[in-house]
């Protein structure tokens, strides 16, 4: 099998990966199908087994196949993106009683799980201190670290920062914060969210982020630095969302003023 338009200058592993990608996209291999073994691929393309192994690795990096220990390599089911955007904090969605992540997971028929590995008083990162209007060189915030999973697959990391002088002694220091989550507790403190500011960027993950999210080499993340502002225009919460870019999209519909 040859790859249409393949450059002779391409490494053999990339030519094999491209041929397999086209076979997957054309339906020759369907979701759930098992790919030929490395030995079979090597014979089919006249290459070494190490070259065939590298081709399969390239496909895995692209999210097209997944290896199952002791069983082989299989074509992945198409992944629906988790899409978060302008309606994330809408009253309509909040009335469901579900957090934005749980609501999005429910819409996709997935089971959501949120782990809270740490809640601690900390010195804030400088960009957080600037947006939350707190002292940057003192332990002026509570940092809530959350890891989000859908059907036990890691999807995003969320680091939420709240003012220590407001959060101390409240349910905001607990993993389970009660009805309506942290925003319900913040409303009880007098902060009704009326406006948000999201700063979006793409980057490569840190080693720690890659480990938590189970990212393959070369997969980037989307970072959203979110600031909540209340009825007085006062910032009262800053959260850093780190989304795995291979499963997340951002959808914004905004009025033009």
CB 242 within 8 A of CB 156: yes
As a dihedral over the C-alpha atoms of residue 209, residue 211, residue 215, residue 219, rounded to 10 degrees, the angle is: 40
CB 186 within 8 A of CB 236: yes
CB 227 within 8 A of CB 235: yes
pLDDT of res. 246: 80
pLDDT of res. 239: 97
Q: Return d(Cα 57, Cα 14) in angstroms, integer.
A: 10
- pLDDT tens-place string over residues 137-185: 999 999 999 999 988 889 899 999 999 999 999 999 999 998 888 988 9
Q: What is the pTM of this model?
A: 0.75
55-59, 106-110, 118-122, 153-157: lowest mean pLDDT where?
A: 106-110
3-7, 188-192, 233-237: lowest mean pLDDT where?
A: 3-7
Residue, of 68 and 43, whose pLDDT is higher: 43
Q: Is the pLDDT of residue 65 over 50?
A: yes
Residue 117, Cβ density class (10 Å: 0-12 exposed, 13-18 middle, ≥19 buried): exposed
Q: Is the pLDDT of residue 6 over 50?
A: no
CB 121 within 8 A of CB 142: yes
SS3 assignment, position 171:
helix
pLDDT of res. 64: 85
- pLDDT tens-place string over residues 74-111: 998 766 656 666 666 666 666 666 677 888 888 778 88
State the chain's maximal CA–CA distance in angstroms. Answer: 69
SS3 sequence of 213-248: HCCCCCCCEEEEEEEEECCCCCEEEEEEEEEECCCE
pLDDT of res. 1: 46
Cβ neighbors of 60 (< 8 A, separation 6 or more) are 66, 67, 73, 216
CB 104 within 8 A of CB 88: no
Cβ neighbors of 28 (< 8 A, separation 6 or more) are none
pLDDT of res. 81: 58
- pLDDT tens-place string over residues 188-232: 999 999 999 999 999 999 999 999 998 877 789 999 999 999 999
- Helix (H) or strand (E) segment spanning residue 38: helix 38-45
């Amino acid at each position: 099998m040859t790859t249409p338009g393949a450059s002779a200058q391409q490494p053999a592993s990339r030519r094999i990966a491209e041929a397999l990608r086209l076979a997957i996209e054309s339906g020759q291999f369907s979701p759930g199908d098992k790919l030929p073994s490395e030995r079979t691929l090597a014979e089919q393309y006249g290459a070494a087994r190490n070259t065939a192994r590298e081709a399969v690795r390239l496909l895995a990096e692209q999210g097209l196949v997944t290896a199952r220990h002791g069983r082989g390599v299989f074509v992945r089911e198409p992944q629906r993106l988790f899409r978060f955007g302008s309606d994330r904090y809408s009253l309509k969605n909040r009335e469901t009683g579900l957090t934005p992540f749980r609501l999005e997971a429910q819409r996709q028929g997935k089971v959501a799980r949120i782990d809270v590995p740490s809640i601690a008083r900390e010195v804030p990162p400088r960009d957080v201190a600037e947006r939350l209007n707190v002292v940057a060189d003192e332990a002026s915030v509570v940092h809530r670290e959350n890891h989000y999973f859908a059907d036990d697959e890691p999807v995003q990391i969320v680091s939420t920062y709240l003012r220590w002088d407001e959060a101390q002694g409240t349910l905001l220091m607990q993993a389970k914060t009660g009805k309506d989550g942290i925003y319900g507790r913040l409303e009880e403190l007098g902060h009704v969210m009326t406006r948000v500011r999201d700063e979006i960027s793409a980057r490569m993950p840190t080693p720690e982020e890659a480990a938590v999210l189970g990212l393959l080499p070369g997969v980037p993340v989307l970072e959203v630095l979110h600031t909540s502002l209340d009825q007085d225009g006062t910032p009262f919460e800053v959260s850093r969302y780190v989304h795995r870019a291979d499963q997340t999209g951002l959808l914004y519909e905004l009025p033009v003023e």
